[in-house]
Amino acid sequence: MVIVEHGKGTNMTGGMAMMTRAPVLLHELVEGSAGVHPDRPAVTHQDRTLSYSELWDAVQAAGSGLTALATGPRSRVAVYLDKRPETVIALFAASAAALVVVPVNPVLRARQVAYIIGDCTCEVLVTTPERLATLGDVLPQCPSLGSIVLTGPRPSDGAGPVAPEGVDLLWWDDLTAAQAAPVRPSIDLDVAAILYTSGSTGSPKGVVLSHRNVVAGAQSVNAYLPNTCEDVILAALPFSFDAGLSQLTTGFLVGAHVVLLNYLRPVDVPRLCARHGVTALTCVPPLWIQIADVAWPDEARASLRYFANTGGRMPRTMLDSLRALFPQASPYLMYGLTESFRSTYLDPREIDRRPDSIGRAIPNAEIVVVGADGQPCGPGETGELVHRGALVSLGYWNDPERTAVRFRPAPGALDGQTLTDMAVWSGDLVRLDDQGYLYFVGRNDEMIKTSGYRVSPTEIEEAAYATGVVRDAVAFGVPDDVLGHRILLVVSANGSTGDPVAEVLARMRTMVPLYMVPSEVVVRDELPRSPNGKFDRTAIREDVLT
């Protein structure tokens, strides 16, 4: 028997290791670019920039510190920080230490943070003194927690935050000053990260990602964008969101420069684009709606090479506005879910022919549309999108029941095959055209049945946007004894004069069949969003129905 030792390119001794092969593990995305582009900028936050060699040195140092804190390989490390260099370092240092990183969205409240730490039994928490102060009442509910690492300057007077009883408290410079630790072996099927969904129904689900998932995702996305070492990527989405983490992985794979943005105001986006010469920007539709409303000076738009959409279908009117705003930039419309990172994208050359499409399968993925009878659908038929391939995650953490529902073999396995790879069944309904392009119809559990028709909320929202009266729009069905469901549309007005309710209804009556016209339109100043920037449909429903 021949045993091949893995991981020859990695060390945590503080020296530079030149990788001679393609990255296999999460931290090797940084290591590889440090070997090829050591002096190029890797990450910038405000006035601080780390080169790839500096970032890799910091990842190795922090990895040694985390190795000393954790009880063993694959222990979980929660990172509860806003975007800053230490956040990026901690994410990749966990991988270098053969640990599992759990990015926690910085906008979550104490109870939600404690749930995540407790659910996946995190042993280490990386956070700030200010955030630790908000967690004082809930951390005692997390018995697995053994160490807390605080970023920022250490108080000179010795005063400072206090950790829960039995939990060690140390500062970032303590972590990075740890003696170099021996490399723990990992393989690509080991768990690299756990990303928690927003939990719009029930408790949040921890999506378990292997190193293979994350690295294959970076390689696949870069195959069609494609990013290069000359690109400047603005990271506007949270790293706890798969698309946000992907900004780091796709950028680091090719040695691009990633600029960190803690999104506060829409005007911050064009300001940073102008300052850093941003070439690549990915957002979710509600975020695009906000930032498209602000002024974009010529210097903010001049360098943009592409803009991309993920996390939901972009309304046609918004796509048209962005193409007019960025005429020199290529639009990439992408579809994905946390359970498989990315599934489809629309080639920019197809935008004018099929602007409503979510495209076709990304490289190294197979997409099947499956009908209610369990058989693949043909052109024109609607069915559930099923994703098979290297990006399909390992399931939900500590949740075999929900894993069994969502992760199942795709139809069409070979006869006689005793073991089959798992596919992720998205729960999203799509339609396939005769050229293999996909069109999003709606969520299987959000479809509205009214007057005998099945109606997609997305189609109603598209019509509402097209009226030109609304800024945000969310539609859902409300049980009705006569209709089955009546359609309720919740909007925020775009500031135009007149009665927005009357104008929306009047214009929609000319655009859609009468059964699709909402029975009620509710106007709010703002519509709540989830931590990932998507519309919080559960909160919106509760707001208007209670």
Q: Which pLDDT score is estimated for 3?
A: 28
Q: What is the pLDDT of residues 155-176, one digit of tens each?
A: 877 677 888 999 999 999 999 9
CB count within 10 Å of CB 453 equals: 13
Cross-strand bridge partners of residue 486: 478
Cα angle value 149/70/403 (rounded, 5°): 105
Neighbours of 305 (CB within 10 A): 18
Q: Assign 3-state DSSP to the chain and report helix, strand, coil percentages, each to 5.
A: 30, 25, 45
Query: How buried is residue 167: exposed, middle or buried, by Cβ count under 10 Å (0-12/13-18/19+)?
Result: middle
The band of 489, judged by pLDDT with boundaries at 50, 70 and 90, is very high
Q: How far apart are CA 367 and CA 134, in angstroms?
A: 43
State residue 413's pLDDT score.
62
pLDDT value of position 419: 64
Length of the chain: 546
Q: Please state, in angstroms and rounded to a whole number, the distance separating the CA atoms of residues 172 and 358.
A: 43
pLDDT at site 482? 74
Q: Is 97:76 a contact under the CB 8 Å cutoff? A: no
Render pLDDT for 411-420 as a digit per residue (tens, 0 to 9).
876 666 666 7
Number of C-beta neighbours around residue 60 at 10 A: 30
Mean pLDDT of the chain: 90
pLDDT for 102-115, tens place per residue?
A: 999 998 888 889 99
Question: Mean pLDDT, to the nearest integer, of 138-157?
Answer: 92
Match 């796709």 to its residue by tokens. 250
173-199 average pLDDT score:
86
How far apart (Å, rounded) are the C-alpha atoms in residues 2 and 4? 6
Which residues neighbour 93 within 8 Å (Cβ) at sequence distance 6 or greater? 27, 58, 59, 60, 61, 62, 63, 65, 66
Compute the C-alpha angle 206/212/217, nearest 5°.
Answer: 85
Q: How far is CA 92 from CA 23, 38, 70, 85, 523, in A?
A: 13, 17, 15, 11, 44
Q: For residue 268, is pLDDT > 70?
A: yes
